[in-house]
Amino acid sequence: MNWKEQLDKAIDTLKQVAESDTVKGLTAKAKDTASKLAQRAKSGALSAAEAFVEANSDPAAFKVRYLNADVNVVSPSDGIDVTRPSPGSIVISDGAGNGIVINAAADKAYVSQQIGTVAQLGANTFDLGAEDGVNVVVLRD
C-alpha cells in the first residue's frame, strides 16, 4: 500500500470514528457538562476548586498542563486550538476569534488577556464565545 492509500485509509477511519455513537455521546455529554458548569459559575454557586474538579471529571474534557498552568477545557467544539506563541504563555482559542492568553510562567498561572468575546464566569472559569456555555476553560486555582 502506497502512502496515498494509507492516508486515504486513515482519513476514512477518522471519519468513521467521528460519526460513531460513542463520539456523539461524548460530545453531547461535554456540551451538557460545559453548559451546567457555566450556569453554576455564573450564579456563583461554584467555587474555583469545585469548578476545576467538575471540569476534570468530564471524560470529554481536554486537559493541558504547561509550567504552572493546569487547564481543563470542557468543549464539544471541533475548533479548539491550543498554541504556545512564546515561552511561558499558552493561548486557547475556539477557532471563531475568541480566546484567552495564559501566563503559565507566573508563580500562579493567570489569564493575561482575553480576545474576542470571552465571559469570565468566575475567578478561574471562562466561557469562549457568546456566553453560550459551550467552550468553558477552567484554570486550577
**Strands in the chain per DSSP E:** 62-66, 69-74, 81-83, 89-93, 99-103, 110-115, 118-120, 125-128, 135-139
Q: How far apart are CA 57 and CA 131, in angstroms?
A: 22
pTM score of the predicted model: 0.61
| Domain boundaries defined on the chain | 3-139
Please report, in tens digits, the pLDDT of each residue of the chain (141 residues total): 677 777 777 777 766 665 666 666 666 766 776 677 666 666 665 655 565 556 555 656 778 888 988 888 877 666 788 889 888 999 888 878 888 899 989 989 888 988 888 888 777 888 887 666 677 777 776
Q: How far apart are CA 67 and CA 24, in angstroms?
A: 33
Closest CA to 42 of 137, 126, 130: 126
Are the C-beta atoms of 130 and 117 separated by less than 8 Å? yes
**Which residues lie across from 112 on neighbouring strands?**
none
